[in-house]
Structure 1
Amino acid sequence: MFFVAFCLCCAHTVAAAPVFDVHVHLREGDNAWREYRDRVRDAGLELSGAGVMWFGGPHQARQGAVDEIRAGNDRVIALAAEHPEVVAIATVHPYDGAAALDELARVAAAGVKVLKIHAHTQGFDVSDARVETLVRRAGELGLVVLTDNANILPGDTEKLFNLVVRVPGTRFVLAHIGGLNFRFWNVLSLARTADGFGMDNLYFDISATVLAVADSPIEAEFVWTLRNVGIDHVLLGSDYPQIGLGETVDALERLDLTDEEKAKIRSGNARKLFGR
């Protein structure tokens, strides 16, 4: 499976502004690329750029599958070379130790700017020292670390909080902003009152969760949370093919946010973070 971060122009939303989708999965390279592109067009969206990573399902980056991981990363690097609008995103398994660090350095040298890891599906513990070693090195190489925060695993959110605190030199994007445990992240408004505790390296994508909360009894709490974590640190993601970008954008539009806030979430913040 491939992971994608797409920069799109939305034709049917209120503001018709560019949309940067930071959470899309592709399964079969060019075929999946064309399928996604067609779905985007069918939804009335105009594709203008993308970042792609092989990731998920039966093609997950499993511990010890070093050659398979390298081959998967090479496929998306090649896809990016063939399609100028594609930016390759790589993955490794944190428990592969030196081999993971070597692969991280190799893909960084090839121009990759984002590392994706997923504790639930890859089967690692976020609090393991090998994870910290990996993400610290990613930051040193200039890579953004994108990781799951759907709060599926016990202690998921709390462990990620501590990891981000311990590695301030690495920028993190936490996917799903904690799922329906998003309320936890309001702690940032208090944490940041401590000297030297800005956590400016922390970003969130609102994929999937935004659909659950839009027009719900807890929508106001969700909007309050986005403002507490900082609108400048919130990104839009669809989690395609599980969820389409069109319905994700529609859910964002229904939130009681200002047009300026929505514009930042749709594309402005991601463009700055990913250098697009």
Structure 2
Amino acid sequence: MKRLLFPIIALLLGAGPALGQDEVFDSHVHLHAGAESLDAYHAQNAADGVEATGFAAMWFGGPNQARAGDVAAMRAAHDATLELASANPRMLPIATVHPYDGDAALAELDRVAGLGFKVLKIHPHTQRFDLADPRVGTLVERAGARGMVVLIDNAGIVPNDTVHLFNLALAHPGTRFIFAHMGGLDFRAWNILPLARTADGLLADNIYFDISGTVLLAADSPLEEEFVWTMRNVGIDRLLLGSDFPQLSLARTLAALDALDLGEEEAAKIRYGNARRLFGLD
């Protein structure tokens, strides 16, 4: 594609105005301050000249949020997030519970699933849980049974997170997973997927990735060719666009995607088509 050859420093520190793309779904938006954050997200996109056709948003975003033992606060945050989504039809709300809250977490998961939440986000680094803990397996199994997609951080900041996430997906074939950031700078590890798919009965087709953050590092860098190779190995149909707002902007993320050597059909799937299919946006 290579229509915009922005140097990596421009991608990291502020890419220029927007990209005139068609439909865009931003699968990774943090609304730490609720409506105030939502207003800031819209304002930033307007200033950059981009527009999200839809976006998935969560209130959770730091070590002082979604802590174990704080189910009442999570419940209140879910209600506030749902209220925001009800007033903003383009917003897909994301829920968060802590695996170590056991039955209380499962009860809250059941409640939000009944309210229409389609995505559960958990974060092993900031929530400080072990991906190999059986309570994580119990939670993601329940989420899958309720038709929810499980979004888990995979930025490579937790030791061996890619290995643990791969095994989690193997153990729970009925649950669809999105692994955020596609491993960070450890993205190479996911090239095992084409081989894993050749093993009869091993892997369900249940792994997706968002490329938030990592795409900014890879575009117009020495890593780009290998990153694009990895994207195609894991499957273009399995990739989602995400900004990770407010840490990063949608405009910069779109600029990085546009800089990759992808075909227009491939890029269109990542920008919107894959999210439409996964989340049933139509």
Structure 1: segments with no counterpart, 5+ residues: 1-10
Once residues 185 and 215 of structure 1 are traced to their aligned partners in structure 2, the CA distance between those partners, rounded to angstroms, is: 21
- Partner of 2:179: helix, strand, or coil? strand
Percent identical = 59
Q: CA deviation at 1:60?
A: 1.5
Are the equivalent residues in 1 in contact too, given 2:25–2:53 (CA < 8 A)? no
- Partner of 1:121: helix, strand, or coil? coil
Q: Does 1:195 align with 2:200?
A: yes
Q: CA deviation at 1:271?
A: 1.1
Q: CA deviation at 1:26?
A: 1.3
Are the equivalent residues in 1 in contact too, given 2:63–2:127 (CA < 8 A)? no
| Correspondence 1:194-273 to 2 at 5 A | 194-273=199-278
1:91 to 86, 93, 96: 96
Name 2:153's counterpart in structure 1: 148
Letter in 2 for 1:257: L
Name 2:34's counterpart in structure 1: 29
Q: Does 1:132 align with 2:128?
A: no
Name 1:6's counterpart in structure 2: none
Once residues 136 and 200 of structure 2 are traced to their aligned partners in structure 1, the CA distance between those partners, rounded to angstroms, is: 26
Once residues 63 and 232 of structure 2 are traced to their aligned partners in structure 1, the CA distance between those partners, rounded to angstroms, is: 37
Name 1:62's counterpart in structure 2: 67
Name 1:179's counterpart in structure 2: 184
Once residues 162 and 250 of structure 1 are traced to their aligned partners in structure 2, the CA distance between those partners, rounded to angstroms, is: 33
Q: Does 1:13 align with 2:23?
A: no
Question: In the TM superposition, what whole-angstrom CA distance separates every residue of 1:115-159 from its partner, at most 9, and x where no partner exists?
Answer: 000000000000000000000000000000001000101111100
Name 2:43's counterpart in structure 1: 38
Are the equivalent residues in 1 in contact too, given 2:170–2:203 (CA < 8 A)? no
Q: CA deviation at 1:196?
A: 2.0
Structure 2: segments with no counterpart, 5+ residues: 1-16
Name 2:108's counterpart in structure 1: 103
1:167 to 155, 163, 172: 172
Once residues 224 and 48 of structure 2 are traced to their aligned partners in structure 1, the CA distance between those partners, rounded to angstroms, is: 25
Once residues 211 and 92 of structure 2 are traced to their aligned partners in structure 1, the CA distance between those partners, rounded to angstroms, is: 21
Once residues 47 and 153 of structure 1 are traced to their aligned partners in structure 2, the CA distance between those partners, rounded to angstroms, is: 31
State how many pairs are aligned.
265
Once residues 86 and 21 of structure 1 are traced to their aligned partners in structure 2, the CA distance between those partners, rounded to angstroms, is: 10
Q: CA deviation at 1:197?
A: 3.1
Once residues 112 and 64 of structure 2 are traced to their aligned partners in structure 1, the CA distance between those partners, rounded to angstroms, is: 18
Once residues 92 and 253 of structure 2 are traced to their aligned partners in structure 1, the CA distance between those partners, rounded to angstroms, is: 22
Once residues 64 and 151 of structure 1 are traced to their aligned partners in structure 2, the CA distance between those partners, rounded to angstroms, is: 26
Name 1:8's counterpart in structure 2: none
1:186 to 1:47, Cα distance in 2 relative to 1, 3 A: closer
TM-score using structure 2 length: 0.91
- Higher relative contact order (CA closer than 8 Å, sequence separation 6+): 2
Question: In the TM superposition, what whole-angstrom CA distance separates every residue of 1:206-263 from its partner, at most 9, and x where no partner exists?
Answer: 0000011111111111011000000000111111111111111011111111111011
Are the equivalent residues in 1 in contact too, given 2:228–2:261 (CA < 8 A)? yes
Letter in 2 for 1:167: H
Question: In the TM superposition, what whole-angstrom CA distance separates every residue of 1:62-113 from its partner, at most 9, and x where no partner exists?
Answer: 0001111111111101111222222221110000000000000000011111
Q: CA deviation at 1:58?
A: 5.5
Once residues 218 and 226 of structure 1 are traced to their aligned partners in structure 2, the CA distance between those partners, rounded to angstroms, is: 12
Are the equivalent residues in 1 in contact too, given 2:173–2:206 (CA < 8 A)? yes
Once residues 225 and 50 of structure 1 are traced to their aligned partners in structure 2, the CA distance between those partners, rounded to angstroms, is: 25
1:148 to 1:188, Cα distance in 2 relative to 1, 3 A: same
